[in-house]
Structure formats: structure tokens, C-alpha cells
Amino acid sequence: MTDLVEVLRAFTSATGCDAALWTRESAAPPMLDSVSRDGSVLSTWTPPFDGPSGRLDSPAGPVIVQAIPGPRRAWLVVGPCTRPDPPLEVFVKFLLPVVTHSLQASLEVEHAATELAERYEEINLLYTISEILGRTVSLEAAAGLILKEISETVGARRASILVHDPERDVLQPVTSLGVGGVTVPAIPIGDECSVSAQVFRERRAIIVEGAASPCPQEQPYRRGTMLSVPIMWTPPAGGMQPLGVVNLSDRATKQPFTAGDQKLITAIATQIGSAIQNARLVRESLTQQRLVHEMELAHDLQMRLLPRAEIVAPDAIVAARVVPAESVGGDFYNLFRLGAGRTGVMIADVSSHGYRAALIMALAMSATAIHAQTSNDPGEVLNALLASLTEELESTEMFISAFYGVIDREKGTLRYANTGHPHAYIITNEGTMRRLAALDPPLGMVDEPPAARTVRWTRTNDLLVLFTDGVSDARDHQDVRLGEQRIIDVILAHRKEPPTAILDQVIATVDAHTAGAVRRDDLTIVLVRS
Amino acid sequence: MSFSIRKQADVVVVDVEGQLIVGNRQELKQKVLDELEKGERKFLIDFSQTGYIDSSGLGVLVSLSKKIREQGGELRLANLNDDLKTLFELTKLDTLFQIADTRERALESF
């Protein structure tokens, strides 16, 4: 083991005294390491090493057994000598520093070699993990490979990676090794008994000594000594955020985990943290893309549900438009050719926006298409619509403000029902305006059937004007409303033009007012001449 | 934009500051329902500092009114500005609520 044999040989040739070096590894008995002369008594005789250093009698004469100072347990044995003088103590005094120094130097070389091997393993591990993380975005797949690599490097036979689930506030196992087919339970963050939960809460690594965990839920993660390290992530805005925990236990060597192990696993946990966050961002981004795509599809579908203005020609000339606030909205209009010169016109606004409102809108459109054909009375039609949607409106706490009118150009009447729709008017060629006010609150707010009322309708002279509050409430950049009167004024000014031309003027007025400010509500406008 | 709640005699008075819209309606609803849960039965919502109510805000008022009535309680509204009054009239919501011009009159009417 040491390279002292040449030194000892030279010593014997110069002094006529034999010399030997004995060393001892932990619990094993002392071993003869080097001896100056084969065949001397020192190559066969084992001195007692349990007593203090000093003179002893070997079978061939007196010797000195001297313990060598230093971390390794070793002894220098000098004697017997061929000459009586000088005394053995003089030779020991000469030889001891040389042997001590040489032994120290060889120990340092051994340590350096071991450390180099360990660092090599660690660097290799970091390379491997970077490579694993670099080639996959699936956290689950990467976590399993990483855990295997870490466990092999530190000699842990039981290991797990737990990731925080913010919704349930638990540490959820992502991957585990050596649990023997046990179903590994999630650990609540507040669990006082669990080391993993404590590591997550306190954001610091913990090395636990000892036998089995006192917590039953912790047992799959731990056997004997355990190293538990938080997985940390640093957001771009700064500050550290814990994302999960790495647990390693049941070391094959039975040795406790060291500060070096902790340092290594902490470095790897930081890489895992970045990977977790990247995987989450990728997942969120994909979901977002899918949502945007689905919203676009829903918008297309919704626009296709709206009837073309031509379906009521030649009985009526209609211009109509819906501009949703989001990709999908809750506004709609519907047109029905009812025969004998009669035209049904509906405008409605489902409270709220987005998917749920769009779903109610689609249901309402198909329900009115059926009910408008089965009854000529607008009150009955809206009542039937309410009956079709009561359950949906109650469960979603939504309601519908709706106007439904039937123009009978032959009889010269407009019969209408109005449940909470504020903007319905007849504007005449002469420039008069009559409001067709709500007769009942919006559908879904009360259970009573909606009422209906009949007013005079002058053929080709009257213009039915319907719009939703998204038009009158359109805001500019200073949050100022456009207001109902401005819209009425524009329609009055262009009242003799065809409905499509009037509609363009209204839209232009809204656009000029909002000047690109964010739209908060759907806009719907319907203009009918018959 | 916020809601403040205080008790005047045996009436829970809620002040709505700013707007009652899709973004804050759930907050108002929860606050009132919490009081209802605690056993309160008389509620007054004061709109003297409210500029605008959108359709989902109106929906919450109707829903609260129903829930309070189911528990044998009463909801009154007070101090609607001219725009809001017109909105309630045009949508016929004025038929669903007891609306007072001032807080004092609303409190007296319980």
C-alpha cells in the first residue's frame, strides 16, 4: 500500500537495524505493510499493538513499537539491531518523521484519487441529467430517468420525486424507485409528521438518521437514513419558489448521507425545478393555443347559426349584424318568414359572455326556430322559449333580454313581446320615433308568461330598429358611453336610405367613438322595413 | 370599485362604489349571502356611489332578491341615479324590486 519498503531497506543497510510498518483498516486486525528485510524476525512476528508505544522483546531481541501520529492507524517497529549502540530510541527518532511524512503523502494521494473519482461521477451525473432534460418535455418521463441516475450515483435503493399540486395542496409522487409495488400516497403540505412536507415548507434540505419513519404515509419514501431536498425554482421576477421534493434513502453502504451528497442533489433539484416549470409552461401554452383555436371554431359556428337577411325577402328588407366582444358571445337575432306577408324578427342578449352564454344562445336560437312556427303570438313564443331554457337559465344564473315582433304588412300591424330589452323603436319616414318598451322583465327573472301588445305598422314607411346595449354602452378610451340618443340621431338622419346603408352608418358611428378601445359587450343591430 | 357593508338598526346596508359588473358581481353576491347565512334578513343596497350596472350585475341583484325572499327576508334598493333608473324602467326590472329615492326612506320602509 505504501512505498516505504525502499526507505526501510536503506535504513537497515545503513544502521544494521530491521524496521517494519504495520497498518490497520477500521475494525480489521493490523497488517504488515512493509518490512526492510525478508527473513528477519519482523517479517514473521506480530507485536502486540494494544499497549503504549515503547520497548518490547521480540524472539530475536529488543524492538521499539511506535504508533505513528495521523488519521490512519499505523505503527513503526524498529529492531533488533546488529550493534548495541546507539540505542534504539535514536533510530526511532530518526526514522519516525520520515515514515510519518511518507505515510501522510500516500494518504493524501489516495484521498485525492477517491475525490477525483467522486467528482467525475458527479459531473457525469450532471451531464446525463442535462441530456435527459434536453431531449424531453414530458416531466414524468424525465423524472423517472433522473431518479434512476441519482440513486445509482449515491447508492440509494429507495427514492422518489414529489411535485406540489397547488389545487389540492399536496406533494404528489411523480416517480419512485424501490417502493416494491406499493401505491405511494400524496402527502399534504401541512403534514407535521412527514419529513418531505417539512422540507417543502421550510425550503431546506434535511438529512435524517435512524430507522423507519414514524409516519405510515412516509414509509414508502424512507427506509433508514434519508436525504430529502427541496426542488426550488427562481421565477424571472426573482425570489425562490418550492416546486417539490427529492427523497433518497436505504443506502446500500448503510453510510449516512454527507454534506457533499446534499450539495450534489441540491444542484440537480434546481435543474429538475427548471424542467418542471418548463414542462408546465409548454403545457399551458398548448392548452392556450387549443382554446384559441376552439374559440375561433365556436365563433365561426355561432356566426353560421345567424340567418341571412335574404330569407325574409321579399316580405321584408333586413340589415343585421352581430359583433361579439370575445370570440363567442351571447347576442343573437333571428328572422322568420311566417307566410301571408308576415315576418318574425327577434333580437336577444344572453347576460354574460363566453362559452356558457354562447351555449345558451345556440339553444335559444334553435328553440325559437321551432316555437316561432307553432304560434303566431310573440308572447307565447317567448314563453315557450323560457320553458325550453328554464333549467339552463336557473343553473347558470343567466337571463335573456329579448324582443320578438311579428310584422303583418297586409294587416298593417306589429305585434310584439318585450322581456327586458331596452332598445326597440319604430322610426318613420316622417322622422318620428316610438319606443317599444319592455312589457316584462328579462326571461329567467320571473315565472309569469310574457305579455304581447299590438301597434300600427305602416307598410314601407316604418323602420323597426333593434339593437343591444353593447351598442349604446360602447366606450371610448376615456370610458365615455356612446349613448342611445347618438344612435337614434344617426338613424333618423339616414332614415330614408336602405337598411344596409343605415346599418353601415351606425357601425361607422360606433367605430369612430370607440376608436379601437377594447369592446366589453357584444354589439347587435337589426333594421327591418316591410 | 368595492363594497362596504354595515349594519343600521336591523338592516344590512351595502354600498356599491364604482360599478357592478361581471368582474365584481360574485364578490357582492358572496358578501350578501354570508350575511344571510349568519341570520340577517333585511338588506338594503345603496347605489349612490354607483355609476354603472351591466347585465350580469342586474342578474346578481335578481338572484340575491330570490335567495333573500326564500329565507323570508327582504331586499330594497336605494339611490339609483337617472341612468340606472331608466335602465330599471326600460328592462321592467323596476317591477321586481322595491326602489327608494333615499337611504332614509328605504330604511323607514322595512
Task: Please measure the distance between the N-terminal and C-terminal CA atoms of chain A and give it in whole angstroms.
Answer: 112
Q: Which residues of chain A lie closer than 8 angstroms to B96, CB-CB?
A: 441, 445-446
The mean predicted confidence, pLDDT, of chain B is 89
Residue-wise pLDDT for A1-32, tens only, equals: 456 888 899 999 989 999 999 988 877 888 88
DSSP letter for each residue of A389-431: HHHHHHHHT--EEEEEEEEETTTTEEEEEEES---EEEEETTS
Return the top range by mean pLDDT from A273-282, A488-497, B9-18.
A488-497
* A509-525 mean pLDDT: 88
Residue A500: exposed, middle, or buried by beta-carbon count in 10 A (0-12, 13-18, 19+)? middle
Closest CA of chain A from B57, distance in Å:
9
Say yes or no for a CB contact (<8 Å) between A351 and B55: yes
Residue-wise pLDDT for A186-214, tens only, equals: 899 998 888 899 999 999 999 888 766 67
Q: Is B20 on the interface with A (CB under 8 A)?
A: no
Say yes or no for a CB contact (<8 Å) between B91 and A420: yes
* A105-129 mean pLDDT: 79
Reported ipTM: the value is 0.81
Nearest Cα residue to B5 out of B26, B35, B25: B35
Of A243-247, A261-265, A410-414, least confident by mean pLDDT is A261-265
Say yes or no for a CB contact (<8 Å) between B55 and A439: no
Say yes or no for a CB contact (<8 Å) between B91 and A401: yes
Where b means 16+ CB within 10 Å and e means fewer, A436-475 reads bebbbbbbbbbeeebebeeeebeeeebbbbbbbbbbbbbb
Q: Which residues of chain B lie closer than 8 angstroms to A421, CB-CB?
A: 91
pLDDT for the residue numbered A412? 96
pLDDT interval class at B100 (50, 70, 90): very high
The overall pTM is greater than 0.80: no
Closest chain B CA to residue A394? B63
| A–B CB contacts, 8 A cutoff, strictly below | 54
Q: Which residues of chain A lie closer than 8 angstroms to B91, CB-CB?
A: 401, 420-422, 438, 441-442
Say yes or no for a CB contact (<8 Å) between A419 and B92: yes
Closest partner residue to A399 (CB to CB) among B59, B90, B95 is B59
Q: Kindly report the number of other CB atoms within 10 A of residue B79's CB atom.
A: 21
- Cα distance between residue A268 and residue A286, in whole Å: 27
Which residues 501-530 of A have a C-beta within 8 angstroms of B? Answer: 520-521
Residue A315 has pLDDT above 90, yes or no: yes
3-class secondary-structure state, position B41 = coil
Say yes or no for a CB contact (<8 Å) between B55 and A353: no
The mean predicted confidence, pLDDT, of chain A is 87
- Cα distance between residue A416 and residue A439, in whole Å: 9
Q: Is B1 on the interface with A (CB under 8 A)?
A: no
pLDDT for the residue numbered A258? 85
pLDDT interval class at A136 (50, 70, 90): low
CATH 3.60.40.10 location in chain A: 306-529
Q: What topology is assigned to A5-111 in CATH?
A: Beta-Lactamase (3.30.450)
Closest chain B CA to residue A481? B52
Nearest Cα residue to B37 out of B64, B58, B62: B64
Output the CATH code of domain A136-283.
3.30.450.40
CA distances from A358 to A388, A492, A493, B58 (A): 16, 32, 34, 19
Say yes or no for a CB contact (<8 Å) between A441 and B60: no
Residue A330 has pLDDT above 60, yes or no: yes
Distance of CA A129 to the CA centre of its chain: 21
Closest chain A CA to residue B60? A397
pLDDT for the residue numbered A344? 96
Closest partner residue to B95 (CB to CB) among A397, A441, A469 is A441
Closest partner residue to A352 (CB to CB) among B22, B90, B96 is B22
Residue-wise pLDDT for A143-194, tens only, equals: 888 888 888 888 888 888 999 988 899 998 888 888 777 777 889 999 888 8
The yes or no reply on domain A306-529 and CATH 3.60.40.10 is yes
Provide the domain limits for residue B87. Answer: 2-108
Closest chain A CA to residue B63? A397
> ∠ at Cα A413 (A410, A414), nearest 5°?
125
Q: Express as a percent the part of chain A with pLDDT over 90.
A: 36
Whether residue A161 contacts residue A272, with contact meaning beta carbons closer than 8 Å, is answered with: yes
Closest CA of chain B from A203, distance in Å:
34
pLDDT interval class at B58 (50, 70, 90): confident
* A509-529 mean pLDDT: 90
Q: Which residues of chain B lie closer than 8 angstroms to A420, CB-CB?
A: 91-93
Strand partners, A248: A159, A227
More confident residue, B10 or A117: B10
Residue A354 has pLDDT above 80, yes or no: no
Number of domains in chain B: 1
Residue-wise pLDDT for A424-477, tens only, equals: 999 999 999 999 999 999 998 888 899 999 999 999 899 999 999 889 888 889
Say yes or no for a CB contact (<8 Å) between A351 and B59: yes
Strand partners, A518: none
Residue-wise pLDDT for A377-431, tens only, equals: 999 999 999 999 988 888 877 889 999 999 999 999 999 999 999 999 999 999 9
Q: What amino acid occupies position B8?
A: Q
Which residues 402-431 of A have a C-beta within 8 angstroms of B? Answer: 419-423
Say yes or no for a CB contact (<8 Å) between A351 and B87: no
Say yes or no for a CB contact (<8 Å) between B55 and A438: no
Q: Which residues of chain B lie closer than 8 angstroms to A520, CB-CB?
A: 54
Say yes or no for a CB contact (<8 Å) between A437 and B95: no
- Cα distance between residue A157 and residue A159, in whole Å: 7
Q: Which residues of chain B lie closer than 8 angstroms to A442, CB-CB?
A: 58, 91-93
Say yes or no for a CB contact (<8 Å) between A445 and B93: yes
pLDDT for the residue numbered A384? 94
CATH 3.30.450.40 location in chain A: 136-283
Q: Is B87 on the interface with A (CB under 8 A)?
A: yes
CA distances from A159 to A131, A225, A272, B25 (A): 21, 12, 15, 48
Closest CA of chain A from B9, distance in Å:
30
3-class secondary-structure state, position A339 = strand
Domain CATH code at residue B7 = 3.30.750.24
Distance of CA A123 to the CA centre of its chain: 29
Q: Is B54 on the interface with A (CB under 8 A)?
A: yes
Mutate to test the interface with B, among A349, A350, A397 (most CBs of B within 10 A): A397
Closest CA of chain A from B102, distance in Å:
24
pLDDT for the residue numbered A138? 67
Closest partner residue to B59 (CB to CB) among A398, A421, A423 is A398
Q: Which residues of chain A lie closer than 8 angstroms to B90, CB-CB?
A: 422-423, 437-438
Whether residue A528 contacts residue A343, with contact meaning beta carbons closer than 8 Å, is answered with: yes
